[in-house]
Amino acid sequence: MPVRSTEWEGVYADGPWLLTRNLVPGAVVYGEGLVRGSDGEFRRWDANRSKLAAYLKRGGRVWPFRLRSSVLYLGAGSGTTASHVSDICADGIVTAVEISPRSFRDLLALAEKRPNLVPILGDAAKPEPYAGRLGSVDVVYQDVAQRDQEAIFLRNFELVRSGGTGFLMMKARSADISASPAKIFESTKRTLAEAGTEVIDFRNLEPFQADHGVLVVRKP
């Protein structure tokens, strides 16, 4: 039976599983299991498929996602993680940017059923086209697995309100194939701190996501 988390708003647990309440009852996004609870239907949130779920499984404690949060999600892919964020921020807005037309097609189909999910076919390295209509957001979540992931993140972090939060999912092998993940994570942390963000959490996402880490920062 799903039990509401006391630490993470909008997140539930059922034995070893994390869950979110399904915004579109009956609909499955990536083959995840559905669980019936006393107050609705829940979707299993797989930490091997979603880095945000892996962050929680690895003891992540910073949790800015609220029922009415506005989230800018960069590198949404087909919407696996974005769908869970859309469940959690059910009365908020999740603006999901994706550069690949193939993945965007899936994202678009997902958004047709989810009124709080706004898909944008675009390049997160060039935020100008969507920055204007977005205003400021509570959270930026980035998972683009690109060499220049730090620069992309800092450009988009300008769209976060003061006191807002940024999640940077770092793929070490994307940044530098020869350097050790620990060194890359450390150097990224320094770069973000030097750029004036306040680094408030870091988690290595092993064993759920090989060579991945997450940095969480706050805007002063």
Ligand X SMILES: C[S@@+](CC[C@H](N)C(=O)[O-])C[C@H]1O[C@@H](n2cnc3c(N)ncnc32)[C@H](O)[C@@H]1O
Gap between the terminal Cα atoms of the chain:
40
Beta carbon nearer to ligand X, 107 or 217: 107
Least distance in Å: CB of 109 to ligand X?
14
Q: Is 38 exposed, middle or buried (0-12, 13-18, 19+ CB in 10 A)?
A: exposed
Q: Which residue is nearest to ligand X (CB)?
A: 75
CB 186 to ligand X: min, Å: 22
Interaction site with ligand X (CB under 6 A): 50-51, 74-77, 80-81, 97-100, 103, 123-125, 143-146
- Of 112 and 198, the one with the shorter C-beta distance to ligand X is 112
Nearer CB in complex with ligand X: 149/197: 149
Nearer to ligand X, 93 or 107 (CB): 107
CB burial class (10 A; 0-12, 13-18, 19+) of residue 216? buried
Could you tell me which residues are beta bridge partners of residue 72? 95, 140
Radius of gyration of the chain (CA): 16
Long-range contacts of 193-197 (CB under 8 A, 24+ apart): 195/154, 196/220, 197/154, 197/157, 197/166
Q: List residues bridging with 142 in a β-sheet.
A: 74, 168
Least separation in angstroms between CB 203 and ligand X? 15
Which residue's CB is nearer to ligand X, number 48 or number 180?
Answer: 48
Smallest separation, CB 87 to ligand X (Å): 13
Provide, rounded to whole angstroms, the least separation between the CB of residue 152 and ligand X: 6
Neighbouring residues of 178: CB distance < 8 A, sequence distance ≥ 6: none
